[in-house]
Each structure stands twice: as structure tokens, then as C-alpha cells.
Chains A and B, each alone.
Chain A
Amino acid sequence: RKEVEQDPGPFNVPEGATVAFNCTYSNSASQSFFWYRQDCRKEPKLLMSVYSSGNEDGRFTAQLNRASQYISLLIRDSKLSDSATYLCVVRDDYKLSFGAGTTVTVRA
């Protein structure tokens, strides 16, 4: 079983739509959680950390459910520039474990 699993998508949504997706992780002792964004053929970049109480950053909302061991990301009012692959990342001690990514395509 992979340590971090994501629905690969793709999620194809029109501009202005809301899109949400989850990832699950296997280690209940994982300490920190993140969403990274990766544009085609480029390096991953931190989008946001995920806190236990849930957190927002503009149009992006992240939630953590420790009991069920999943993390979610919701994007409101999607923009064309949100088209990317979103990587779910879990930290155990020093080690980051990456999901394979969820691809989102926003169309005009």
C-alpha cells in the first residue's frame, strides 16, 4: 500500500467552478501535512500547509481528518491559472512522502 494515495484525476472544470479532492495517508503518526503544486514539467512548490483545525489561503481551503487519515483541498472560483497537478505531502520525522498528484484542468 502506498503511503500517500491520491485520485489522479484529471478534474476538468469550467472557470469559476469549485473543485475538491482528497488524499489518504497510511501512517497514523504522521506529523505534518502539505499541498504542493506542480506545473507541467516544473518543480513542485508549496501551496499551503494543512493544519488540524483546517485553514484557508484565499480561494484555497485545506482540511485534515486525522481519524480517517485524509486531507482535502478545495479550490473556489477556479481560475485558468489553477490548472496544475496538486501533490499531497505527508511528513514523518525527517521524511516527506508524496502522493502521485491530482491533475486539475480549468477551462475557459
Chain B
Amino acid sequence: DAEITQSPRHKITETGRQVTLACHQTWNHNNMFWYRQDLGHGLRLIHYSYGVHDTNKGEVSDGYSVSRSNTEDLPLTLESAASSQTSVYFCASSSRLDNEQFFGPGTRLTVL
């Protein structure tokens, strides 16, 4: 069955370290998204991609970067992790922008 996976599921890191969160989908969806979810806030869009080599900033992109070298993967990199980036990160994909987004299981990141 097609699916979307994220790894690692849990990560503890230290302030200043570079961290990369993986997202992999097997639906062949063009559109992929990264969100963070914090208490009291809805999911907030970090970066998104409409296809290979396309990346765009979302509303909370500072301190994050993405690259899209193939259809299946959109890794999210925290260049220099900060405590404010402690959060749950969800990756999502969709076949069309007006279609349902399918979410991965999430990565819980703690920055100490």
C-alpha cells in the first residue's frame, strides 16, 4: 500500500546542531508539505514543494530549509537547532492542491 513515512519518530538534539528530518511518500504525489504543531497553535506551514527542484517558504520558515531532488522525498533541515524549534513535525503530501493532504506519523523533536 502507498504511504507516507517520517524518520526518526523521536529525536533529542542540542542547541546549535544541524538536524535533518526525513519524509518519504510512495503515492507519487507532486505536492509535499512540512508543518510544525505546538500547543495552542494549529499546524503551521514551514515549507512546501510542488515538484522536483521546487521549494517555497511557508509562514514559519526561518531556521529551516528543504530540498526536493526526487518526487518521493522532502527532507527538512534545521541548520542550527534552537530550543524554540522543539515541536512535533508533520510531513504531508497531496496529488492536487485542492485535494486532501495525507499526513505522515510525525517526528517529535526536542532541542536541549
Q: Contacting chain B: which of A9-17, A41-49, A50-58, A65-73?
A: A41-49
Residues from chain A with a CB closer than 8 A to the CB of B100 are: 34, 46
Q: Report the minimal beta-carbon distance from A35 to chain B, rounded to whole angstroms.
A: 12
The interface residues of chain B, by DSSP majority, are classed as loop
Q: Contacting chain A: which of B14-22, B65-73, B76-84, B101-109?
A: B101-109
Number of A-B contacts (CB under 8 A): 43
Interface residues of A in 28-42 (CB under 8 A from B): 31-32, 34, 41-42
Whether B41 sits at the interface, judged by CB under 8 Å, is yes
Report whether A43 and B42 are in contact in the complex, using a CB–CB cutoff of 8 Å. Answer: no
Report whether A98 and B98 are in contact in the complex, using a CB–CB cutoff of 8 Å. Answer: no
Q: Contacts A32-B98, A91-B98, A94-B48: A4 and B42 contacting too (C-beta < 8 A)?
A: yes
Query: What size tier do the contact residues of chain B reach?
Result: 20 to 34
Question: Which of A2, A31, A43, A93 is the one whose CB lies under 8 Å from B90?
Answer: A43
Report whether B90 and A44 are in contact in the complex, using a CB–CB cutoff of 8 Å. Answer: yes
Query: Residue among B35, B58, B88, B103 with the most chain A CB within 10 A?
Result: B103
How many residues does chain A have at the interface if contact means C-beta atoms less than 8 Å apart? 22
Residues from chain A with a CB closer than 8 A to the CB of B60 are: none
Q: Report the minimal beta-carbon distance from B56 to chain A, rounded to whole angstroms.
A: 9
Q: Which residue of A lies closest to B59 (CB)?
A: A95
Cα–Cα, bound, A93→B50 (Å): 13
Question: Which of A45, A46, A94, A99 is the one whose CB lies under 8 Å from B42?
Answer: A99
Residues of chain B having any CB pair with chain A under 8 Å: 31, 35, 40-45, 48, 50, 58, 88, 90, 97-98, 100-101, 103-106
